[in-house]
């Protein structure tokens, strides 16, 4: 009966899903010495070098202080560097290092494997529909 109480609770169900999915991504990024948030941020930086910290935070839907902590960790690992911004001296542009470029393909492959594993488990159509619906709800609630 308690389970029924939460059947229609967005918070409970999305958080439960996040915990299950977090385990998969933690395993995928562990060989690189990265947490899932660091892994996703690094993938974004590799895909779009030169973004500002603010742009990274916006793209990842995280706060600027969280982005700062993630960037500090990635910089300590030697995977990113901050450079003066060409458009605003008050901001930094974030770029991947050579070390990051070397793991780029493997990082993307590991991410692809997690996605494929989840798609095989829940079905590709169900996966795509769920991701789409979650994005719609997230967008609507912003």
How high does pLDDT run on average in the chain?
92
Q: At what angle do helices 98-122 and 124-141 cross, to 10 degrees?
A: 110
Kindly report the three-state secondary structure assignment for every residue of 40-94: HHHHHHHHCCCEEHHHHHHHHCCCHHHHHHHHHHHHHCCCEEEEECCCCCCCEEE
**Distance separating alpha carbons of residues 132 and 38, to the nearest angstrom:** 23
CB contact set of 110 (below 8 Å; sequence gap of 6+): 28, 29, 31, 32
pLDDT in tens, 127-137: 999 999 999 99
Q: Which domains does the chain have, with CATH numbers?
A: 22-141 (1.10.10.10)
Any idea which residue has 């995928």 for tokens?
28
| β pairing state of 51-52 and 80-84 | unpaired
pLDDT band of 33, cuts 50, 70, 90: very high
Mean pLDDT of 57-84: 95
Kindly state the DSSP code that residue 95 receives in the 8-state scheme.
E
Per-residue pLDDT for 36 more than 80?
Answer: yes
Per-residue pLDDT for 95 more than 90?
Answer: yes
Contacts of residues 126-135 at CB distance under 8 Å and 24 or more positions apart, as own/partner, are 134/14
């Amino acid at each position: 009966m308690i389970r029924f109480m939460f059947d229609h609770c967005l918070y409970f169900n999305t958080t439960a899903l996040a915990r299950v999915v977090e385990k998969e991504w933690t395993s995928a990024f562990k060989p690189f010495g990265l947490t899932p948030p660091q892994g996703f941020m690094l993938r974004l930086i590799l895909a779009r070098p030169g973004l500002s910290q603010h742009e990274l935070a916006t793209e990842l839907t995280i706060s600027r202080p969280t982005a700062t902590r993630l960037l500090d960790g990635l910089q300590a690992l030697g995977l990113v560097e901050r450079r003066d911004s060409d458009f605003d001296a008050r901001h930094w542009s974030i770029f991947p290092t050579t070390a990051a470029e070397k793991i780029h393909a493997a990082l993307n492959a590991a991410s692809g494997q997690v996605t494929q594993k989840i798609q095989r488990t829940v079905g590709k159509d169900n996966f795509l529909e769920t991701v789409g619906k979650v994005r719609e709800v997230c967008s609507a609630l912003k």
